[in-house]
Amino acid sequence: MREKFAVLLLTLLAWAAPAAAQPDGCLQYSWSYGREIDLFADGYLPTIDSASSLPKEGVFALRLKATSDIMYPVPPDRGRDSGYGGYVTLESIPAGRYHIVLSEDAWVDAVEEHARLPVRDAGKIDNCPSVRQSVQFEVTGQPLTIQISGAPVDHLSIAVVRVWNFERKK
């Protein structure tokens, strides 16, 4: 319960805080990563274990395990044979497009009702500090499971933020 409250509080504070200037390497991408960089850099991130549930979207750190030790709800599309992995379920998330940003390079699958969601936009980020992977998914409002696989590290930070219509790429 304490972790859930911390995630909610950090998310609310991050939305209220002004965004810092983005490092030069982040400016070459069509999507602004300032909000996610600020969320990752704000200090304490609640850390949760794989297979945990959270009440809603936000920012958190996820402890990963060897990918071979994970029993994923749906087999990952890629990255299932090496590295680290894990998953987290967001219990209540309104329908819409969501941006999932990782602090490390890894494969991301979004799952609703035991089916992988199609990727709407994705990119590997090479020279933007603390942001390495970016994926967007359209969700229907059912509980959303975010599956991570093929990560080179045993923990990473994840930001799950709503993409509003005015923020979408044309």
DSSP track, 133-170: EEEEEEE-SS-EEEEEEEESSSEEEEEEEEEPGGGS--
Sign of torsion over alpha carbons 49, 53, 54, 56: positive
Q: SS3 of 88, please?
A: strand
pLDDT score, position 47:
95
Q: Phi, psi (5° rounding) for residue 16?
A: -80, -25
Local structure of 75: helix, strand or coil: coil
List pLDDT tens digits, range 77-106. Answer: 886 678 999 999 999 999 999 989 998 989
User: What pLDDT sits at residue 154?
Assistant: 96
- In a 3-state reduction of DSSP, which class is residue 5? helix
Sign of CA dihedral 19, 21, 22, 27: positive
pLDDT per residue over 99-156, tens digit each?
A: 899 989 899 999 999 999 999 877 666 666 677 788 999 999 999 999 999 999 999 9
Q: Enter the pTM of the model.
A: 0.77
What does the pLDDT read at residue 20? 43
Distance between CA atoms of residues 64 and 87, nearest Å: 8
